[in-house]
């Protein structure tokens, strides 16, 4: 193993004492210089601090120059924070670091070396939507109906293959086991060729093309090995096989690789993350030093005890036990709700109550859920109470149609071969180039093997409608004139404004003159603000670099921690964040933990790690919440509470009344009815102090029945179609009264009482 160090400065201008601010384990990791290093960093143990101080130490002691350090993160936000902290510690010496996400760093390398793998430096980056659109077009050309063979499904399968470094040819010969696999193989072959022809790469290519580059060009590999003598990787447990391979190649010469991660927080297997990368690190690097960081600075003792009790149930894990000097804090509160509307209303009541009693602000709260669709009911409840919120993981600003349209125009100015960008805006707004014309152009492009942009320049020879030829000529002239403006040094913002004017895009939105169109216009104007900001804050602003930054924004980068709003997000999106108060909602079987996807086995260990991540986001107070009933597929269905509630340490979890939780597998009591059917008895404690109103006012329309009402909860009934059953829930009043009946042979049904033709059995 080769080692490389610069000699420490014998008379440094600034004394180095910042390592004394670390605890002993942190200091041990941050002061390690040569050789592989594995830092097992538990939740809230200061891993970002350690990485920051280690880089600052290498630079301050002159073991490395800034350009010799490669620091890889999973969010741009993490990279920016680390850069700022290093700057604060050592000042100008931090300039020139290679620090950023895997995708941003390797896309930068590929810009420099693109010609070696058959691309030019102005290549486009396809996001998931662009990739799906390209695949949709291929499916149509292969005579498959995209409504039956979903482009998203094919895209996922291709992405999985790429992340495992499986080529289209390998997929065709070794991985076809079904009709869908066969279709995927055919699409994969064509898709790869189309990307190359369009001078475009998708997100997965940004990881696998560097491997191709480094393996096929030993001189390039040695160049970057010598440049990146010290490599640091954050969140190593989230790396996939391609990320593992490319960093292994770069680290092979000097082996000064430092990885930081927590196997207990490995939650991205659906994206191809491979937990074995961190579990096997010491097998890959025999002489690796392992440093565990076990002191938690974030959470109270009770929250940490709760987290530790759940993660200890997993079998595959590295040995560590978190501890803290923080106070005991409040026990975890378990909320047991009637249905999802009750759950949302009660949590909003808690938020208001905690703000009054403890002085919390809106941005001190986060509501975490397993799936995005759960946000709707919380959004409604927060809006009704006038509480500002931010939704993380919804439709991104840069994914809105009008923004994608404008970006497609700008993309053509740097890469006119980009077929997806061209097809998106050649007739947007309408300029008389219809689908029939486009289909003819595509047909000729496929037959000749040329790009659509090349075909457009020879449109006179094409067999298409004559007026469309004139429109195409006008379109080409517009794009070429805008390209010329850009190439002669006209600022990006000015080119954008001229493009919006010449294309008529902004004018078309104004002329629509409805609320939605005006909102879209405002979004386009906001994009101009983003371009202006980029232009003013970048030394050498280039349109291609701006487009690259936009394409590489991650979900975590969309979270604004300074916004005075309650945060709604999935648990996946919350990773790396922390809040004083956390509500983990929907803790029910087949929701959290999520049930297995079709054709797959349930990954309970990963679901448990996901629950652990959710728990460890909390600093001071933590709430668990589940509902006994939940709407699914248009009908209310009974829910079994999550098995995780039976696994946590019951000593640190209390119900709202202060009682310890009863750990059992199902919160419904089942008994046999007179008709032999299974009936369900349901109880709910309406005496919680958080219920400031009667149940009918806080959670939909639940009301108590009068004694002389025959259709009461528990009544045995007969339905002319469904047979015998038992009323298990009742809501509404008068003509709007609804009942939920559990029928022996037909299961649970929600019925309007006035139309159900029910008869009470004596």
Q: Exposure pattern of 272-287 as b/e (b: 16+ CB <10 Å)? A: bbbbebbeebeebbee
Task: Tell me how far apart the alpha carbons of residues 567 and 392 are, in angstroms, rounded to a whole number.
Answer: 7
Q: Quickly state the pLDDT bin for 665 (edges 50, 70, 90).
A: very low
CA dist., res. 122 & res. 414, Å (int): 6
> pLDDT: is 123 or 272 the higher one?
123
Which band of pLDDT confidence, cut at 50, 70 and 90, is reported for residue 13?
Answer: very low
**Residue 156, Cβ neighbours under 10 Å: how many?**
15
pLDDT in tens, 97-115: 899 999 999 999 999 999 9
Residue 663 has pLDDT above 60, yes or no: no
- The fold adopted by the segment(s) 332-388+565-655 is Rossmann fold (3.40.50)
Residues annotated as part of the active site: 47-48, 234-235, 265, 617
pLDDT at residue 329 tops 50: yes
Cis peptide before 341 (omega within 30 of 0): no
Q: What share of the chain is helix, strand, coil (3-state, %, to 5)?
A: 50, 15, 35
Round to whole Å and give the CA distance between 23 and 21. Answer: 7
Name the more confident of 561 and 550: 550
564: pLDDT strictly greater than 60:
yes
Residue 11 banded pLDDT, cuts 50, 70, 90: very low
- Model confidence pLDDT, tens digit, residues 123-154: 999 999 999 999 999 999 999 999 899 999 99
Q: To 5 degrees, how large is the angle CA 703–CA 706–CA 710?
A: 105
Higher per-residue pLDDT: 459 or 719? 719
Percentage with pLDDT > 90 across the chain? 62
Q: Which two tokens stand for residue 7?
A: 């000699």
Residue 634's pLDDT band (cuts 50, 70, 90): low
At residue 8, the pLDDT reads 44
Burial class (CB in 10 A: 0-12, 13-18, 19+), 712: middle
Among the listed residues 134, 664, 696, the one whose alpha carbon sits nearest the alpha carbon of residue 422: 134
C-alpha 287/C-alpha 53 separation (Å) is 23
The reply to whether 107 sits in an annotated binding site is no
Alpha-carbon distance of 97 to 91, in angstroms, equals 13
Question: Cα–Cα distance between 184 and 199 in angstroms, integer?
Answer: 22
DSSP run (H or E) holding 533: helix 515-536
Q: How far apart are CA 671 and CA 656, in angstroms?
A: 27
Cα 200 from Cα 207, distance rounded (Å)? 14
Q: Name 345's Cβ contacts closer than 8 Å, sequence gap at least 6.
A: 381, 698, 699
* Residue 16: per-residue pLDDT: 54
310, 615 Cβ separation under 8 angstroms: yes
Q: Which residues touch 477 (CB under 8 Å, ≥6 apart)?
A: none
List the structure tokens of 138. 């291929």
Decide if 216 contacts 435 (C-beta within 8 A).
Answer: no
| 225-253 confidence digits (pLDDT tens) | 999 999 999 999 999 999 999 999 999 99
Q: State the pLDDT at residue 2.
A: 41
Residues 6+ apart with CB under 8 A from 238: 74, 261, 266, 267, 268, 271, 273
Query: Dihedrals φ, ψ of 13, to 5°?
Result: -65, -30
Is 516 part of any known ligand binding site? Answer: no
State the average pLDDT over residues 193-210.
95
- Residues 33/55, Cβ–Cβ less than 8 Å: no
Closest CA to 78 of 41, 47, 108: 47
Q: Which CATH architecture group holds 399-553?
A: Orthogonal Bundle (1.10)
Q: Which of 249-263, 497-511, 596-610 has the lowest mean pLDDT?
A: 596-610
Q: How far is CA 698 from the centre of its chain?
A: 33
Name the more confident of 648 and 7: 648
pLDDT at 253: 96
45 assigned to a ligand binding site: yes
Q: Cβ of 696: how many Cβ atoms within 10 Å?
A: 14
CATH number of 18-115+207-295: 3.40.50.300
Calculate the average pLDDT of the chain.
Answer: 86
Helix (H, G, I), strand (E, B) or coil at 200: strand
Measured in Å, how far apart are the chain's first and last C-alpha atoms?
86
Q: Is 64 part of any known ligand binding site?
A: no
Mean per-residue pLDDT, 726-731: 76
Q: How far apart are CA 74 and CA 747, in angstroms?
A: 46
pLDDT for res 224: 97
Query: Left if phi > 0, otherwise alpha if psi is -120 to 50, otherwise beta: which for 91?
Result: left
**Is 504 assigned a ligand-binding role in the annotation?**
no
Name 365's bridge partners. Answer: 581
- Which long-range contacts link 352-360 to residues 24+ away (Cβ below 8 Å)? 352/385, 352/387, 353/690, 354/581, 354/621, 360/580, 360/581
Alpha-carbon span 111 to 465, nearest angstrom: 40
41 assigned to a ligand binding site = yes
Average pLDDT over residues 25-30: 96
Q: How far apart are CA 309 and CA 661, in angstroms?
A: 15
May I ask the CATH class of domain 124-198?
Answer: mainly alpha
| Residue 48 marked as a ligand binder | yes
Q: Is the pLDDT of residue 461 over 90?
A: no
Instruction: Report the candidate in 198, 200, 191, 202 with the shortest Cα–Cα distance to residue 168.
Output: 191
Q: 98-102, 132-136, 376-380, 668-672 — which is least confidently predicted? A: 668-672
C-alpha to C-alpha distance for 622 and 303, rounded to whole angstroms: 7
């Amino acid at each position: 193993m080769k080692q490389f160090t610069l000699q420490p400065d014998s008379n440094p201008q600034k004394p180095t004492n910042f390592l004394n601010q670390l605890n002993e384990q942190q200091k041990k990791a941050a002061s390690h210089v040569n050789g592989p290093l594995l830092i097992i960093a538990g939740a809230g143990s200061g891993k970002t601090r350690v990485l920051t101080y280690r880089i600052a130490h290498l630079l301050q002691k002159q073991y490395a120059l800034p350009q010799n350090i490669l620091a890889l993160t999973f969010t741009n936000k993490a990279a920016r924070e680390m850069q700022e902290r290093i700057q604060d510690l050592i000042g100008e010496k931090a300039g020139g670091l290679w620090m950023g996400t895997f995708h941003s760093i390797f896309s930068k390398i590929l810009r420099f070396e693109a010609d070696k793998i058959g691309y030019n430096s102005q290549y486009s980056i396809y996001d998931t939507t662009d990739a799906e659109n390209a695949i949709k077009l291929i499916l149509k050309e292969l005579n498959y109906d995209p409504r039956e063979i979903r482009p998203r499904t094919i895209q996922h399968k291709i992405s999985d293959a790429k992340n495992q470094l499986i080529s289209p040819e390998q997929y065709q010969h070794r991985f076809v086991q079904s009709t869908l696999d066969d279709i995927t193989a055919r699409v994969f072959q064509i898709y790869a060729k189309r990307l190359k022809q369009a001078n475009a790469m998708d997100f997965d290519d940004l990881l696998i093309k560097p491997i191709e580059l480094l393996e096929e060009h030993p001189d390039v590999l040695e160049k970057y090995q010598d440049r990146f003598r010290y490599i640091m990787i954050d969140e190593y447990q989230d790396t996939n096989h391609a990320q593992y391979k490319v960093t292994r190649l770069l680290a092979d010469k000097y082996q000064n690789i430092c990885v930081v991660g927590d196997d207990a927080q490995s939650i991205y297997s659906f994206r191809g993350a491979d937990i074995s990368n961190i579990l096997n690190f010491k097998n890959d690097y025999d002489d690796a030093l392992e440093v565990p960081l076990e002191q938690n600075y974030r959470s109270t003792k009770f929250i940490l005890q709760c987290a530790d009790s759940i993660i200890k149930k997993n079998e595959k894990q590295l040995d560590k036990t978190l501890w803290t000097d923080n106070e005991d804090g409040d026990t975890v509160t378990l909320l047991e709700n009637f249905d999802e509307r009750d759950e949302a209303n009660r949590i909003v009541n808690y938020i208001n109550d905690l703000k009054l009693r403890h002085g919390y602000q809106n941005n001190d709260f986060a509501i975490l859920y397993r799936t995005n669709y759960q946000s709707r009911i919380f959004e409604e409840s927060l809006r009704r109470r006038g509480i500002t919120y931010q939704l993380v993981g919804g439709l991104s600003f840069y994914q809105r149609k009008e923004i994608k349209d404008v970006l497609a125009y700008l993309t053509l100015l740097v890469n006119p071969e980009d077929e997806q960008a061209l097809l998106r805006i050649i007739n947007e707004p309408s300029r008389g180039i219809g689908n029939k014309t486009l289909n003819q152009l595509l047909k000729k492009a496929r037959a000749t093997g040329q790009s659509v942009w090349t075909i457009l320049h020879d449109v006179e020879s094409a067999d298409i409608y004559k007026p469309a030829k004139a429109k195409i000529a006008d379109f080409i002239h517009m794009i070429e004139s805008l390209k010329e403006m850009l190439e002669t040094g006209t600022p990006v913002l000015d080119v954008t404004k001229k493009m919006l004017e010449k294309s008529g895009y902004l004018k078309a939105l104004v002329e629509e003159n409805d609320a939605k169109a005006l909102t879209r216009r405002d979004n386009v104007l906001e994009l101009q603000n983003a371009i202006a900001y980029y232009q003013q804050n970048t030394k050498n602003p280039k349109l291609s670099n701006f487009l690259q930054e936009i394409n590489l924004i991650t979900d975590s980068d969309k979270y604004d921690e300074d916004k005075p709003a309650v945060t709604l997000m999935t648990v996946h999106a919350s990773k790396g964040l922390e809040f004083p108060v956390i509500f983990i909602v929907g803790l029910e079987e087949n929701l959290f933990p999520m049930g297995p996807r079709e054709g797959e086995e349930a990954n309970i260990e990963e679901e448990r790690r996901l629950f652990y991540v959710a728990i460890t986001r909390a600093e001071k107070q933590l709430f668990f919440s589940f509902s006994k009933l939940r709407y699914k597929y248009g009908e209310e269905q009974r829910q079994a509470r999550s098995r995780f509630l039976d696994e946590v340490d019951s000593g640190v979890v209390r119900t709202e009344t202060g009682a310890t939780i009863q750990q059992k597998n199902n919160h419904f009591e089942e008994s046999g009815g007179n008709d032999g059917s299974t009936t369900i008895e349901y109880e709910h404690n309406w005496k919680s102090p958080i219920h400031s109103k009667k149940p009918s006012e806080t959670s939909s329309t639940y009301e108590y029945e009068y004694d002389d009402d025959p259709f009461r909860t528990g009544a045995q009934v007969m339905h002319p179609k469904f047979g015998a059953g038992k009323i298990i829930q009742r809501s509404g009043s008068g003509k709007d009264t609804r009942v939920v009946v559990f029928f022996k042979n037909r299961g649970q049904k929600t019925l309007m009482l006035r139309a159900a033709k029910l008869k009470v059995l004596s």
